[in-house]
Structure 1
Amino acid sequence: MATDCAAWLNANPVEAEDLSDSLVSEEEDNAGSVVNKNIKNEINGNWLSSASNSIHEARLKAKAKRRLRKNSSRDSGRGDSLSDNGDVVRGTSVAPTSPKSKLLDRKSRLGKGRGLPKKGGAGGKGVWGRSGEVYEQQAVDQKDPNYDEAQENCVYETVVPPLDERDFENTVIPIVQEYFEHGDTNEVAELLAELNLGPMRSEVPSLAVSLALEAKASHRELTSRLLADLCGPVLSCSDMENSFDKLLLELPDLVLDTPGAPQLVGQFIARAVSDHILSKSYIEAYKGRVGCQYTRVSLDRATVLLKMSMEGLRIDSKWGTGGGQRPVTQLIKEMNLLLKEYILSGDSKEAERCLRDLEVPHFYHEFVYEAIVMVLESKGEKTLKMVLQLLELLSVSSVITLDQMRRGYERVYMEISEINIDVPRAYFILEQFVDQSFSMGIIDVKIRDLCPCRGRKRFVSEGDGGVVKV
């Protein structure tokens, strides 16, 4: 029996650990010793040889390697690893972390480089690219399933729909009214060029003229200039003729709002002919076929003005120039003529109307200055009283404000020394005029107190006996 066991052990070598286990098991229980010492060599009742045992150990080592590789895949290669024989080699780095924490990490996972984002920040989903990079226009791919050969020669333009009658009035009327404030024809031309006027193109001159009929003379002058500048760049001569034809047909309705519309339209026609907007044969084309009396009055007015222009009348100054568009010297000259005409006629209402027609409320201090200087240079009390009455009327009607009145008086105060050279009694007359102006309510106490007084030297004559005259 002993010889049989030795032969079996030689054929199946057992490790020292298995042998020690078998010896202990023999002392405890002889019946189960064979089963306990050979448990590692039996799986599911099948005895394993030495070759099958080595395969089982290789599988266990490979499984351990896969487990360590999975845990240390995001540890930059510096964690735990296996040697060639399967032994675990401990590194000095930190324990591997969960891959979820590095899901949004854009740094390199290979442990190389300087830790900068990959591709310089130009990679990744939803990224526009590296800063400062300029993309060129991509060529059309003819193999694209959405490719359409007809789209290669297409030209895309912004289409502005033409204006209808309602939109035309709501758009053009504010442009013309704003032009009456700034007087820049180039801006109006640019605004109209951006609009698609369409068939309403010929309505622009008639709309501007109809607005000017209800405005001031200076606005009519601006309208004539606007029509002259728009003819060519924006409007044609045929558009101008069609527009004035419409004005002549609408005269019965225009007279209801503006009684002098026929004469004013005739002046517009004469100005348009002189500016070469309308042809010289425009008026002659209406001869013999005019049935409306207002149209006949308008054409007769235009004919008379054109005949007078041949004799030297300037139609371009027929409307006059209002506001700050006039030169200062011309305004001063017209104010002096106004004052002289008032002194001769004594009509203060007409003087007020003429002053309003100048349309320079910011320059009325010049009128006050010229009126006071005229009083200082005049002889007698008539001029002083008439000027005081005129200034009182203008002050009560608020044509001349208190600020403009104050500036006019202060200008006289500053130049009284020079005026006194030509007018020796200027100080005395000025004091008298200022006192009466204050008593009539034309000026206030502050303006009166600013009036300069000439210092007088009192000399004692020989016959006075040393008594100073009071």
Structure 2
Amino acid sequence: MDAKLAPTKASAMANGEAAGAPKSFKRSNSLQDKTPAHSKPGAAAATARRLRSISISEPQPTKAQPKFSKNSRKSRSGFGRGLPKKGGAGGKGVWGKPGSELDGVATAVDSHDPNYDSEAMDDDVELEPVAVQLTADEVKRLAETLVLEYFDHGDTSEVDRALTESWDVISIKLRYLVVVAMVELAMDHKASHREMTSVLISDLYQECLTQTDICRGFEALLEQLPELVLDCPDAPEILGNFMARCIADDCLPPKYLSGHKGKVECRLAIKALDRADLLVSSPQGMSRLDNVWGTGGARRPVRALVSQMVQLLQEYLSSADCDEAIRCLKELEVPHFHHELVYEAVTMAIERSDRRSTDEMVRLLKTMYGACVLTTNQMDEGFLRVYEAMPDTQLDVPEAYTLLERIVTLAFQKGVISRDTMRRMPTKGRKRFVSEGDGGRIKVREAPGLVF
């Protein structure tokens, strides 16, 4: 037995050294050598015969070794299934299996913890929304927006509803800024807007605003007068009118003026308080304060508006200043009544019966039409009113139809009126001197005692 195995070991050693047999091949031979003879009969002889058939000179095939990168997660033994090591939890920069961060993680209780989740809290915890309070600048911007919209629609209930909805985010200490924003905007607008502001303050009193809010608002305005007078030189008089009107509307107590007269040192504030005291203490002052801003806009009587338009046209014929006439017409604040100006202008040109008045009136109408002060509808309506009044105008001006024809022709050439309006111009009826059944003989009126 030993004699037969000796050449086998020698040949195996020779082949391994010469051909560089792989380690796996050597390990298999060693396992076979260690196998007991009685367990595998004839195994040694078969192994020896196989080894003798292999040439020592020929190189033996070697199994390619896989290349492993430095951070590879696959098994390096070569016997694995190709899966990453540790189920994907190994390798550089890996803190566990994907999705393991959601398994077994306790809910963070500390609200300052980065992993704190408010939705994962217990059911007995109830979250309530917290309203963010507006700053002083935001309160003034909100009030300015509401007041500007109010100047367009004139509905105080709309402002009341909007302020009520925003009252939760406005601090009680900042609500007086609503009054400050109202008065400041009214100072930059016309008298009609100041009247609307006084009505708004009166309607909001005891609904949204308290007497304390109104008092604090006027105190802040008195302190800001040195700055307000830079943009509005009449700020002291306007503020005095507002305070007097609020006293008449019972929004301010009567003792408000006397309580502040000796406490303010600003000259402008003293002037505003004196103005308010004068209006309140004058005879029948409380009843007259309803018209402290005048009767402007549509509240004026029609006769007063007509009279002011006639004065406007007379001053224009004297100065020939179209810009001044446009400014005066806008101050009346009656854009729906501008057709009256067209009617009065054409009627005045007919009554004056001179070429200069006709040319100046047409030029004024052309300028106002180009400045969009007078619209096409207002222009046509004014001329149609003149057409209807021509029978009465002719009684005072016999040549009224001739003058009207000239004015209408010139206005059509300037593009002031439409062709349809020009066609509707009335013409004076002509007296017929020839009858159709008289053969063309002219009728002569016979006088008593005369024979023709």
Q: Which residue of 1 aligns with 2:199?
A: 225
Q: Which residue of 2 aligns with 1:186?
A: 157
Q: Distance in 2 between matches of 1:407 and 1:224?
A: 35
1:165 paired residue among 136, 146, 149:
136
Q: Does the 8 A contact of 2:140 with 2:177 survive in 1?
A: no
AA of the residue aligned to 1:251: L
CA drift of 1:295 comes to: 1.3
* 1:326 corresponds to 2:326: no
* CA gap 1:266/1:190 in 2 versus in 1, 3 angstroms: same
2:215 paired residue among 241, 245, 250:
241
Q: Distance in 1 between matches of 2:312 and 2:282?
A: 26
AA of the residue aligned to 1:193: T
Structure 2 length-normalised TM:
0.59
Q: Does the 8 A contact of 2:309 with 2:341 survive in 1?
A: no
Q: Which residue of 2 aligns with 1:427?
A: 401
* CA gap 1:180/1:294 in 2 versus in 1, 3 angstroms: same
* CA gap 1:312/1:467 in 2 versus in 1, 3 angstroms: farther
Secondary structure of 1:283's partner? helix
Q: Which residue of 2 aligns with 1:286?
A: 260
* CA gap 1:367/1:253 in 2 versus in 1, 3 angstroms: same
- In structure 2, runs of 5+ residues without a counterpart are 1-121, 435-440, 445-452
* CA gap 1:459/1:147 in 2 versus in 1, 3 angstroms: closer
* CA gap 1:200/1:296 in 2 versus in 1, 3 angstroms: same
Deviations 1:253-278 (A, max 9, x none): 11222222222112211211221211
Secondary structure of 1:457's partner? coil
CA drift of 1:301 comes to: 2.4
Q: Distance in 1 between matches of 2:306 and 2:414?
A: 23
2:145 paired residue among 155, 161, 174:
174
Secondary structure of 1:194's partner? helix
* 1:310 corresponds to 2:284: yes
* CA gap 1:467/1:397 in 2 versus in 1, 3 angstroms: farther
Q: Which residue of 2 aligns with 1:413?
A: 387
Q: Distance in 1 between matches of 2:123 and 2:194?
A: 60
Matches within 5 A, 1:6-405: 160-195=131-166, 196=168, 197-198=170-171, 199-308=173-282, 310=284, 314-320=288-294, 322-323=296-297, 325-326=298-299, 330-331=301-302, 333-340=304-311, 342-343=313-314, 346-347=318-319, 348=321, 350-376=324-350, 378=351, 380-381=353-354, 387-388=361-362, 390-405=364-379
Secondary structure of 1:232's partner? coil
Q: Does the 8 A contact of 1:185 with 1:226 survive in 2?
A: yes
CA drift of 1:162 comes to: 3.5
Q: Distance in 2 between matches of 1:375 and 1:258?
A: 40
Q: Distance in 1 between matches of 2:296 and 2:164?
A: 28
AA of the residue aligned to 1:167: E
AA of the residue aligned to 1:326: R
Q: Does the 8 A contact of 2:198 with 2:246 survive in 1?
A: yes
Give structure 1 regions of 4+ aligned residues with deviation exceeding 6 angstroms. Answer: 156-159
CA drift of 1:366 comes to: 2.3
Secondary structure of 2:256's partner? coil
Q: Distance in 1 between matches of 2:344 and 2:303?
A: 8
* CA gap 1:286/1:356 in 2 versus in 1, 3 angstroms: same
Q: Does the 8 A contact of 2:358 with 2:407 survive in 1?
A: yes
AA of the residue aligned to 1:171: L
Q: Does the 8 A contact of 1:365 with 1:408 survive in 2?
A: yes
- In structure 1, runs of 5+ residues without a counterpart are 1-145
AA of the residue aligned to 1:305: L
Q: Distance in 1 between matches of 2:326 and 2:347?
A: 19
Q: Does the 8 A contact of 1:332 with 1:366 survive in 2?
A: no
CA drift of 1:184 comes to: 0.7
Q: Does the 8 A contact of 1:338 with 1:351 survive in 2?
A: no
AA of the residue aligned to 2:387: Y
Q: Percent identity?
A: 38
CA drift of 1:467 comes to: 12
CA drift of 1:186 comes to: 1.2
Secondary structure of 2:380's partner? helix
Q: Distance in 1 between matches of 2:289 and 2:327?
A: 23
Q: How many residues align?
A: 312
Deviations 1:122-168 (A, max 9, x none): xxxxxxxxxxxxxxxxxxxxxxxx998xx9xx9x9976443322432
Q: Does the 8 A contact of 1:185 with 1:229 survive in 2?
A: yes
Q: Which residue of 1 aligns with 2:66?
A: none
AA of the residue aligned to 1:217: A
CA drift of 1:316 comes to: 1.8
* CA gap 1:433/1:177 in 2 versus in 1, 3 angstroms: same
* CA gap 1:307/1:439 in 2 versus in 1, 3 angstroms: farther
AA of the residue aligned to 2:279: L
Q: Distance in 1 between matches of 2:307 and 2:382?
A: 15
AA of the residue aligned to 1:339: V
Q: Distance in 2 between matches of 1:298 and 1:175?
A: 27
CA drift of 1:178 comes to: 0.8
Structure 1 length-normalised TM:
0.57
* CA gap 1:357/1:304 in 2 versus in 1, 3 angstroms: same
* CA gap 1:386/1:301 in 2 versus in 1, 3 angstroms: farther
* CA gap 1:384/1:274 in 2 versus in 1, 3 angstroms: farther
Secondary structure of 1:314's partner? helix
AA of the residue aligned to 1:457: K
Q: Does the 8 A contact of 1:336 with 1:370 survive in 2?
A: no
* CA gap 1:365/1:309 in 2 versus in 1, 3 angstroms: farther
CA drift of 1:459 comes to: 2.3
Deviations 1:292-330 (A, max 9, x none): 22212222322333344636872222324555x537xx2
